[in-house]
C-alpha cells in the first residue's frame, strides 16, 4: 500500500468516476467521513457515488448529500454498476473488505485503484493500492479532514463538509471524552468553528432525535437485560430478537447502549450482544488497559480499537452468553 499523498494528482485531474464506501451499518463517522470526502472530491469535477453496504440509522439523515447515497442491500444494481465502472474506490472506516458485507466481492474484483482511509488496527494492506491507516487518530472523519488540509486545496473546506466531519469526530470520541481526543482534534474543531460551524445543531440531530420507544427500550434493557459480574469488573447486556420486536427497534436505536455499564464504579469491560436475524452481533468497550481488540479477535471473530471493538457469532444468543462468561474467566487476570 503506497502513501496516500500519491493519490492527489489522480483526483485533481478531474473527470474520474469515484466510488466511496464504508462498513456495513454505518455510524456517523463512517457516513460523515464518506460524505465529507464526496463533497471535497466533487469540487475537482469528478463523478462521485457513495455506496453503503446496508441501511443506516435515521438520526444521520440530516447529513448533506445523504439522499444520494446508494443502499447496496436495497438497490444492488446501481451500486454494482458504479463499482464496476469506477476509476477509484475510496474505502473509509474499515480495515478489511469483509466489513462491507455482500458488497465485498464486487470491490475485490474491481480493477479500480483502491484507497484506504481508516483508523482500525491490523488493516489488510494488500487489498489497497494507496492509503493511510493510523490507529492514533480519533476517527476517520479526522483523517479525511487531514487529507483535505494536506492537499493543495485546503480552501475547499466548507460548512457542509464541516458538518459531516464534525459529526464523525464528535461521536467517535464520545463527545470528546475518550482518550482518543487529542490536541489535534480540538484544533480541528476550532477551525471548523472559525469556518462558521454551528456545532450545537449536530448534537441535537444525533442525540435528541429519537422516538419515545427507544427511551423505554433502554429502560427495559438496563433493568432486565444487564448482568454485572463484579468479580471480573465486567457487565453484559444481552438483547433478544423478542426485545427488538417488542419495542420496534430500528437501525441505530442501540447506538451507544454498550457505554452505559461503563458508568458503574469499578467496571472495566462492558459488552453488548444483540440477536440479529442472521447472526449475533457483539460490541465491547473498556476503560484503562484492557484490550478489547485482542478480546474480540480471540473469542468473537471481531476486532477494532484498543478500547472499542466489535464481533460476531453464528451461535445462539444463549450460547453466546455462555461463551462470554467463559471468555472473561480466561482473561480474569487482565480484568482484575
- Which pLDDT score, from 0 to 100, does residue 278 have? 83
- Which pLDDT score, from 0 to 100, does residue 330 have? 98
Neighbours of 326 (CB within 10 A): 10
Q: Which of 47, 44, 41 is nearest to 92 (CA)?
A: 41
Distance CA 151, CA 96 (A): 26
Q: How many residues does the structure list for the chain?
A: 336
- Which pLDDT score, from 0 to 100, does residue 221 have? 97
CATH number of 212-335: 3.10.310.30
- Which pLDDT score, from 0 to 100, does residue 277 have? 80
Distance CA 119, CA 113 (A): 20
| Domain range annotation of the chain | 2-207, 212-335
Full pLDDT tens readout for the chain, 336 residues: 999 999 999 999 999 999 999 999 999 999 999 999 999 999 999 999 999 999 999 999 999 999 999 999 999 999 999 999 999 999 999 999 999 999 999 999 999 999 999 999 889 999 999 999 999 999 999 999 999 999 999 999 999 999 999 999 999 999 998 889 999 999 999 999 999 999 999 999 999 989 999 999 999 999 999 999 999 999 999 999 999 999 999 988 999 999 999 999 999 999 999 998 889 999 999 999 999 999 999 999 999 899 999 999 999 999 999 999 999 999 999 998
- Domain 2-207, CATH number (from 3.20.20.80, 3.10.129.10, 1.20.120.80, 3.90.1640.10): 3.90.1640.10
- Per DSSP, the three-state class of 2 is strand
pLDDT digits 0-9 by tens, 213-261: 999 999 999 999 999 999 999 999 999 999 999 999 998 899 999 999 9
pLDDT digits 0-9 by tens, 157-174: 999 999 999 999 999 999
- Which pLDDT score, from 0 to 100, does residue 336 have? 87
Distances (CA, A) of 234 to 35, 266, 296: 37, 9, 15
Q: pTM here?
A: 0.91
Phi, psi dihedral angles at 139 (to 5 degrees) = -165, 160
Neighbours of 240 (CB within 10 A): 14
Phi-psi region of 312 (alpha: psi -120 to 50; beta: other; left: phi over 0): beta
Residue 235 CB-density burial (10 A; 0-12 exposed, 13-18 middle, 19+ buried)? buried
**Please, what is the end-to-end C-alpha distance for the chain in angstroms?**
40
Contact 27, 63 (CB under 8 A): no
Concatenate the DSSP letters of all residues of 233-263 into one string: TEEEEEE-HHHHHHTT--TTTTTTGGGGGGG
Distance CA 262, CA 287 (A): 8
Amino acid at each position: 500500500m503506497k502513501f496516500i499523498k500519491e493519490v492527489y494528482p489522480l483526483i485533481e485531474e478531474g473527470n474520474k468516476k469515484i466510488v466511496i464506501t464504508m462498513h456495513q451499518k454505518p455510524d456517523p463517522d463512517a457516513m460523515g467521513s464518506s460524505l465529507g470526502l464526496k463533497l471535497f472530491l466533487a469540487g475537482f469535477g469528478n463523478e462521485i457515488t457513495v455506496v453503503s453496504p446496508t441501511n443506516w440509522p435515521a438520526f444521520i439523515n440530516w447529513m448533506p448529500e445523504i439522499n444520494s447515497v446508494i443502499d447496496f442491500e436495497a438497490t444492488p444494481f446501481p451500486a454494482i454498476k458504479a463499482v464496476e465502472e469506477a476509476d477509484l474506490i475510496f474505502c473509509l472506516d474499515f480495515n478489511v473488505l469483509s466489513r462491507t458485507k455482500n458488497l465485498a466481492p464486487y470491490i475485490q474484483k474491481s480493477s479500480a485503484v483502491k484507497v484506504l482511509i481508516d483508523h482500525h488496527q491490523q488493516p489488510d494492506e494488500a487489498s489497497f493500492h494507496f492509503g493511510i491507516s493510523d490507529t492514533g487518530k480519533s476517527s476517520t472523519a479526522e483523517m479525511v479532514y487531514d487529507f483535505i488540509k494536506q492537499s493543495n486545496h485546503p480552501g475547499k473546506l466548507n460548512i457542509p463538509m464541516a458538518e459531516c466531519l464534525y459529526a464523525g469526530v464528535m461521536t467517535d470520541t464520545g463527545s470528546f471524552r475518550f482518550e482518543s481526543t487529542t490536541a489535534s482534534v480540538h484544533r480541528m474543531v476550532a477551525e471548523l468553528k472559525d469556518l462558521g460551524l454551528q456545532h450545537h445543531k449536530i448534537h441535537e440531530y444525533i442525540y435528541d432525535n429519537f422516538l419515545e420507544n427507544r427511551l423505554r427500550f433502554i429502560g427495559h434493557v438496563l433493568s432486565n437485560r444487564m448482568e454485572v459480574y463484579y468479580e471480573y469488573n465486567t457487565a453484559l447486556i444481552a438483547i433478544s430478537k423478542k426485545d427488538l420486536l417488542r419495542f420496534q427497534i430500528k437501525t441505530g436505536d442501540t447506538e451507544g447502549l454498550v457505554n452505559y455499564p461503563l458508568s458503574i464504579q469499578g467496571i472495566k469491560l462492558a459488552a453488548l450482544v444483540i440477536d440479529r436475524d442472521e447472526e449475533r452481533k457483539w460490541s465491547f468497550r473498556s476503560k484503562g488497559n484492557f484490550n478489547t481488540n485482542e478480546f474480540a479477535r480471540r473469542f468473537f471473530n471481531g476486532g477494532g480499537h484498543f478500547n472499542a471493538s466489535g464481533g460476531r457469532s453464528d451461535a445462539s444468543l444463549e450460547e453466546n452468553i455462555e461463551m462470554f462468561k467463559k471468555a472473561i474467566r480466561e482473561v480474569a487476570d487482565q480484568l482484575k
